[in-house]
Amino acid sequence: MIILCRLLLAMMVLQVEWYGARGEKQTYKWDDRGYILYCPCMGRFGNQAAHFLGSLEFAKTLNRTFVIPPWRSYKNVRFTDWFELEPVQSYHKAILMEDFLEQLAPTHWPPSQRTGYCYRATGMANENDCEMKYGNPFGPFWEELGVDFVDSNFTSLGYDVRMDFVRNQWETKYPAEQHPVIALKGAPAKYPVRKEHRHLQKYLKWSKRKLNEAQEYINNTIGDNPYIAIHLRMGKDWEKACESAVGRDSFMESGQCLEDIPNAKIDKDVCLPSMEVVKRHLLALLRKTGIKSLFVASDVEAEKYNMQTYIGRRYGIYYLSPQLPQLDLVVMSKADYFIGNCVSSFTAFVKRDRDVNNKPTEFFGLEQLKINHAKQQKTEL
């Protein structure tokens, strides 16, 4: 409890402005190639992180500066509260949205020139307005940044700028001279994250503060012992999602484990594994590795507390408060072994992080799905 309280207090400290390696605040000059802004307003953190990678690549392909938005939870969270800025800048020119608004917007994107860009959607209250701030989280996101929009620009262009003709369409329709700042209503990226964008995870480096908080937790609980981490996605909302996922070729982030199995379909144990499936897989890995420590991240608190019932009292079981999901992600990424949920974007973040660091990832229910799929393929032959 003491450890948890200390971690919660750390989360509540005032946000600190990011400074460069020499302790000086970064200053920026105007980029004549233009800027890409967007609201990370579709889904929870896992979805936002997937969109971040695609949006970074979108900006790079168009050679516009990537304006990094704050993460959106119940409030805006400055990007550098959770991640380092410099690794992103090592891949492509980037600036925090807060710095863009403070240093560059007053001169180059004044309030009288702020246009929102969007697709024209049916059901809009005003067909001539992008409604950039309509609803939650769109309204609160821009309101907390102090941004209003005075005009709208509707587009029908796709976001897959890997294709030359799509990139040319963007550059022809929106030259930087006339459209220096493209502020999009949503992320210019696909969900789930494209396979070719997953490697960009290596530029999402946790902030030193987040790493220190996670390491402090590990030091005071697991210690120097090796450990297995698991992610159990089992809430009521997930049950409903899996009802529509079973039998489909793909759903959410299922590509992370099914894309290399031709014609495979999602089954219940891959999307919503029973505790019997969890127990069987987990015990097999614990016995195989000889590891005695287990870290559990779950959206269902009861399953954390009941885990001892499933695997026995010879193992140490550890978990964090549900109010600390980013620390869950760090601890799972650092684990010696990890078992996740094939369909979950929360698991997908951990897998990508482990992939770029050459750490193994397994999925509940996947091995049995492979067996069942192989049998079905033989039967059809």
pLDDT digits (tens, 9 = 90+) for 185-216: 999 999 999 999 999 999 999 999 999 999 99
- And the tokens for 228? 């297995």
**pTM assigned to the model:** 0.90
Judge whether 321 and 4 are in contact, CB under 8 Å: yes
How far apart are alpha carbons 274 and 21 in whole angstroms?
48
pLDDT digits (tens, 9 = 90+) for 260-319: 999 999 999 999 999 999 999 999 999 999 999 999 999 887 666 688 888 988 999 999
How far apart are alpha carbons 258 and 277 in whole angstroms?
18
Q: Is the pLDDT of residue 21 over 60?
A: no
Across the chain, what does the average pLDDT equal? Answer: 91
Percent of the chain whose predicted confidence (pLDDT) is above 70: 90
The least confident of 119-128, 183-192, 295-304, 345-354 is 119-128
Q: What is the CA radius of gyration of the chain?
A: 22
For residue 108, which phi and psi values (nearest 5 degrees)? -100, -15
pLDDT digits (tens, 9 = 90+) for 31-75: 999 999 999 999 999 999 999 999 999 999 999 999 999 999 999
More confident: 148 or 6 = 148
Distance of CA 215 to the CA centre of its chain: 21
Q: Which residues contact 33 (CB under 8 A, 6 or more apart)?
A: 63, 64, 65, 176
How far apart are alpha carbons 48 and 134 in whole angstroms?
19
What's the full length of the chain, in residues? 381
Distance of CA 107 to the CA centre of its chain: 33
| Strand, coil or helix: 151 | strand
Distance of CA 377 to the CA centre of its chain: 35
How far apart are alpha carbons 378 and 41 in whole angstroms?
45
Q: Is the pLDDT of residue 126 over 80?
A: no
Q: Which residues contact 175 (CB under 8 A, 6 or more apart)?
A: none
How far apart are alpha carbons 333 and 241 in whole angstroms?
25
How far apart are alpha carbons 52 and 200 in whole angstroms?
10
